C-alpha cells in the first residue's frame, strides 16, 4: 500500500453565496463538505487509480468524525488517523456566484500535545512496514516540531520506503536536509527554498540541499524534473480552463503511482501531468475527469536527457 | 418549567480575521462556537435568572451534537431537542479586527421530513403539560409548514399554557391569527406585519389581528407594550455602547420571567429592558452583565396608562 501523511487535516467546506459583501448578512445557497488536507486529496486520487492507500495524520472532535466518515465512504482508502483531543480544523471557501471569485477562511490547526505527537510517531513507524511508498504532505499544526518531516523522512529511509515531501517554508527547508527521495515543490516554494527564480537552476540547488530528485510543478507550464537519472520537462497538450484546486495533489498522486508501478521517469511525468490537467478540467474541485485523463496520457510532450552512465 | 422552541437551531461560529477582503485567503486568528437560534439564547438567559428551562426543536449531525454538548454544559437548561437525519445548520460571523465590522454567513436549515415534524409535534405536546409558559422563537427550517406556529399556539392554548411568539414574515402573519398571548416583534417585523411604521398604531393593529398583548422592541427606544390591561413605554436610563446581538432574546427572556413570576406589566417591562441593556453592555455577544442588570432594574423609566375596568 501507499501511505500518505496529513498532519494538518481539515474539513473543507464550500459555501456558495450570491455576492460576498463585507459587513453584510448572506444566505448561503449551497453547502458542500469534504475531507481536506493535501495527503487526503492525494489518497483519494490514488484510490481512484486503483492503488491501496492508507492515510494517517490527526483527527479530533466532531469535525474529525465527519472527515473520517466521508474518507472511509470512498472505496480503497484505509483510515489510520490518530485521535487527538482538539477538533480538526475547518477551512471555508466562499464562492461568489456573481464574480466566480473565492474567498478563503482557514481556521488554525488544533494544538497537538507531546503525547499525541509521540503516539503519531509510533503509529507511523508501524505503518511504514507494509508501505511501498510514503508521501508527507502539507503544513504542520501547532505543537508539532518544525523539524517533524526530517524525522519522518529518516524513519522512512531507515525502513527502506521511498519518501516524497510536499510542504513549504521552514518545514520544507528542514525536511530537504534529511534527504527525501522526491521533493514536489511549486514554483513559489522552490524559489523560497533556494532563493532562485530560475526553476531549472533552483531544482538542481534543491538536489544539492539533499533531495534525491525534484519535480517542480509550474502550473500551466507543466512539470520540471531533476533526478540522478536525468532531467525532463513534461507539458500538457494545450492550456485548459477550469479549477486548479487539487492539481498539485494530483501531481503527487501521479508521481507516487508511477513510482510504485516502477515506470521510467518520462512515463511517471506523463501520468502526473495528465492527472493534474484532468483535475483542472473536472467540474468538482479536486476530482479528476477519468476519460480526459486516459485521453491526455498519450498526448503529454516529455522532453529531456538521460544522465550519462 | 419554561419551554422554549427553536425549530431552526444553529451552531453559531465566530471567526476573527485581521481584515476581510473578498477574493483573498485569510488566517482565522480565533474561533468560538456556541449554541445558536433565538430560543436557545432565551433559555440561557432564563437559566441564568434561576428559572428551570427546557429547550426543544431539532438537532442533527455532528453540528447538532456540538450544540447539545454545550447546551447541557450550562446549568439549568434541559435538552429536549428532537433528533433529525440532516445536520444542524451553522452560522458564521466573521469579525474584521481592523474595522470591527461583522460579516454574516448563514447556512440554510436542514430539511425536516414529515415524520420528523410529526415526532416533534408529539414531543411538544408532552412538554406542554409541565410548562408554565412557552416561547416559539425564530425562523422555520425547510420542510416545516409555514403555518407551523399557528398549530403550536393552538396546542399551547388548549393546554392552558401562556404562549409567546417571536418570529417574522409569513410565519408571524399566520401565527398571530392563532391568537398567541404575547407577540414580541421588533420595529421592522411589526411594520411588515401591519403595514404601519407608527409602532403604537401598529401594536394595536397586531392586537386586532389576534395577539392578546404586543411588546415591540424599538432598539435604543426601549419597549412599547399594548395589552388588555393597559399601554406602557419602558426606556433605558441612557444610551449604552456595546454589541446588540442577543438583546432581543433577552427581552423575550425578561418578559417570560416576569410572566411566570406574575409581576405587574411595568415590572415585567423593567426586567426586560434591564436585561436587554445589560446584554448590550456585556463583553461577550449574547451574555448579560449581571451587576449592570441588577443596578439597571431600579432605573428603567416606565410610563403608561392602565385600561379602565
Reported confidence tier of residue B287, pLDDT bands at 50, 70, 90: confident
Q: Does A239 have pLDDT greater than 80?
A: no
- Interface contacts (A, B; CB < 8 Å): 80
- Given this model, what pLDDT does residue A3 score? 98
Contact assignment for A105 to B66 by CB distance below 8 Å: no
Compute the distance between CA of residue A133 and CA of residue A122 in angstroms, rounded to an integer. 18
Cβ burial, residue A308 (10 Å; 0-12/13-18/19+): exposed
Please compute the mean of the pLDDT values over residues A92-105 and round it to a whole number.
91
Task: Check CB contact under 8 Å for B103 and A17.
Answer: no
Q: Lowest mean pLDDT: which of A50-54, B37-41, B97-101?
A: B97-101
> Between these two residues, B45 and A287, which has the higher pLDDT value?
B45
Cα angle B58, B62, B65 (rounded to 5 degrees) comes to: 55
Contact present, A254 and A268 (Cβ < 8 Å)? yes
Contact residues, chain A, for B99 at CB < 8 Å? 23
Dihedral in degrees, nearest 10, Cα atoms B140, B145, B151, B152: -30
Q: Is residue A84 part of a domain?
A: yes
| Whether the predicted pLDDT of A148 surpasses 80 | yes
**Interchain proximity B65–A63, CB inside 8 Å:** no
Q: Indicate whether A31 pLDDT > 90.
A: yes
Whether B99 is in a domain gets the answer no
**In chain A, which residues have their Cβ closer than 8 Å to the Cβ of B29?**
108
Domain membership flag for residue B104: no
- In chain B, what percentage of residues exceed pLDDT 70? 99
The SS3 of residue A277 is: helix
B113-136: average pLDDT = 98
Picking from B65, B94, B99, the nearest residue to A105 by CB comes out as B94
* A106: chain B residues, CB-CB within 8 Å: 25-28
pLDDT at position B239 is 76
* pLDDT score of A126: 98
Which pLDDT band, with edges at 50, 70 and 90, does A74 fall under?
confident
What's the confidence (pLDDT) of residue B73?
84
Give mean pLDDT, residues B283-289: 79
Contact list, B104 vs chain A (CB under 8 Å):
24-26
Identify the CATH number of the domain in which residue B291 sits. Answer: 3.40.1190.20
Cell 446584554 found at: B279
Specify the pTM. 0.85
**Structural domain count of chain B:** 1
Domain assignment present for residue A98? The answer is no
User: CA of A107: which chain B residue's CA is closest?
Assistant: B28
- Category of A35 on φ-ψ map: left (φ > 0), alpha (ψ -120 to 50) or beta: beta
What's the mean pLDDT in A61-77?
Answer: 91
Cβ-nearest to A26 among B31, B101, B106: B106
Q: How far is A248 from chain B (nearest CA, A)?
A: 18
Mean pLDDT of B261-278: 96
Q: Choose the closest CB to A23 out of B21, B101, B105.
A: B101
Give the pLDDT of residue B308. 77
Q: What sign for the dihedral angle of Cα A288, A257, A266, A223?
A: positive
Instruction: Please report, for chain B, how many H helices and E strands are present, in that order.
Output: 10, 16
Closest CA relative to residue B152, chosen from B132, B194, B122:
B122
Is the torsion defined by CA of A207, A209, A211, A214 positive or negative?
negative
Residues B245-271, buried b or exposed e (16+ Cβ, 10 A)? bbbbbbbbbbbbbbbbeebebbbbbbb
pLDDT of B13 higher than 90: yes
Beta strand pairing status for A133-137 and A2-6? parallel
**Among A12, A205, A249, A289, the one annotated catalytic:** A249
pLDDT at res. B296: 93
Q: Is 70 exceeded by the pLDDT of residue B54?
A: yes
**Does residue B23 sit within a domain?**
no
Q: How far apart are the first and last CA of chain B?
A: 32
pLDDT per residue as tens digits for the range B158-207? 999 999 999 999 999 999 999 999 999 999 999 999 999 999 999 999 99
Q: In terms of pLDDT, which residue wins out, B285 or A297?
A: A297
C-alpha cell, A26: 448572506
Mean pLDDT score of chain A: 94
B171 is a domain residue: yes
Cross-strand bridge partners of residue A106: A91, B27
How far apart are the CA of A63 and the nearest CA of chain B, in angstroms? 7
Residue A242's pLDDT is 78
Candidate list B12, B166, B181, B249, residue with the active-site label: B249
Residues A253-287 as b/e (b if ≥16 CB within 10 A, e otherwise) read bbbbbbbbeebebbbbbbbbbbbbbbbbbbeebbb
Cβ pair B193, B173 in contact under 8 A: yes
| Closest chain B residue by Cα to residue A93 | B25
Contact assignment for B22 to A96 by CB distance below 8 Å: yes
pLDDT at B67 over 80: yes
Q: Which residue of B has its CA nearest to A99?
A: B23
Among A22, A25, A62, beta carbon nearest to B106: A25
Phi, psi of B28 (to 5 degrees): -80, 125
| Cα(B301)–Cα(B309) distance, integer angstroms | 24
B77 in Cβ contact with B44 (< 8 Å): yes
Interface of A with B in 78-97 (CB under 8 A): 92, 94, 96
**Among residues 155-174 of chain A, which lie with CB inside 8 Å of chain B?**
none
Helix ranges (DSSP H) in A95-246: 114-128, 148-158, 169-176, 187-194, 199-208
Residue of A244 and A108 predicted with greater confidence? A108
Residues 95-124 in A contacting B (C-alpha not used; CB under 8 Å): 96, 99, 101-108
Q: Which among B17, B63, B105 has CB closest to A62?
A: B63
**A190, A199 contact by CB (below 8 A):** yes
Averaged pLDDT of chain B: 94
Q: A139 to chain B: which residues are within 8 Å by CB?
A: none
Taking the CA atoms of A209, A211, A217 and A222 in sequence, report the sign of the dihedral they define.
positive
pLDDT exceeding 70 applies to what percent of chain A?
99
> Is residue B298 in some structural domain?
yes
pLDDT interval class at B309 (50, 70, 90): low
Which domain range does residue A176 map to? 2-8+36-90+109-306
In a domain, B261, yes or no: yes
Structure-derived torsion over alpha carbons of residues B177, B179, B184, B187, reported in degrees to the nearest 10 = 40
Q: What are A34's three cell numbers?
A: 469534504
For residue B220, name the pLDDT band (cuts at 50, 70, 90).
confident
Of the given ranges (A21-30, A215-224, B68-77, B103-112), which has the lowest mean pLDDT?
Answer: B68-77
A261 is catalytic: no
Amino acid at each position: 500500500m501507499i501511505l500518505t501523511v496529513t498532519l494538518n487535516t481539515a474539513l473543507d467546506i464550500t459555501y456558495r453565496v450570491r455576492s460576498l459583501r463585507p459587513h453584510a448578512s448572506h444566505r448561503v445557497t449551497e453547502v458542500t463538505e469534504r475531507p481536506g488536507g493535501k495527503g487526503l486529496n492525494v489518497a483519494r486520487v490514488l484510490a481512484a487509480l486503483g492503488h491501496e492507500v492508507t492515510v494517517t495524520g490527526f483527527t479530533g472532535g466532531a469535525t474529525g468524525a465527519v472527515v473520517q466518515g466521508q474518507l472511509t465512504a470512498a472505496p480503497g482508502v484505509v483510515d489510520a488517523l490518530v485521535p487527538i483531543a482538539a477538533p480538526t480544523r475547518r477551512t471555508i471557501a466562499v464562492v461568489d456566484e456573481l464574480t466566480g471569485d473565492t474567498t478563503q477562511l482557514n481556521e488554525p490547526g488544533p494544538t497537538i500535545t507531546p503525547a499525541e505527537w509521540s503516539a503519531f510517531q509510533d503509529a507511523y513507524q508501524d505503518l511504514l512496514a507494509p508501505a511501498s511508498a510514503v508521501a508527507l504532505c502539507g503544513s504542520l499544526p501547532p505543537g508539532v516540531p518544525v523539524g517533524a518531516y526530517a524525522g519522518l523522512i529518516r524513519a522512512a529511509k531507515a525502513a527502506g520506503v521511498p519518501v516524497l515531501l510536499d510542504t513549504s517554508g521552514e518545514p520544507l527547508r528542514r525536511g530537504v536536509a534529511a534527504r527525501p527521495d522526491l521533493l514536489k515543490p511549486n514554483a513559489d516554494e522552490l524559489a523560497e527554498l533556494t532563493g532562485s527564480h530560475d526553476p531549472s537552476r533552483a531544482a538542481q540547488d534543491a538536489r544539492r540541499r539533499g533531495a534525491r530528485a525534484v519535480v517542480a510543478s509550474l502550473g500551466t507550464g507543466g512539470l520540471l524534473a531533476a533526478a540522478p537519472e536525468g532531467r525532463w520537462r513534461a507539458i500538457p497538450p494545450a492550456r485548459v480552463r477550469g479549477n486548479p484546486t487539487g492539481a498539485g495533489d494530483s501531481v503527487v498522486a501521479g508521481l507516487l503511482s508511477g513510482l510504485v508501478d516502477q515506470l521510467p521517469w518520462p512515463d511517471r511525468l506523463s501520468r502526473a501531468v495528465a492527472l493534474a490537467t484532468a483535475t483542472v478540467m473536472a467540474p468538482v474541485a479536486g476530482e479528476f475527469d477519468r476519460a480526459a485523463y486516459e485521453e491526455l496520457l498519450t498526448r503529454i510532450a516529455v522532453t529531456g536527457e538521460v544522465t550519462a552512465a
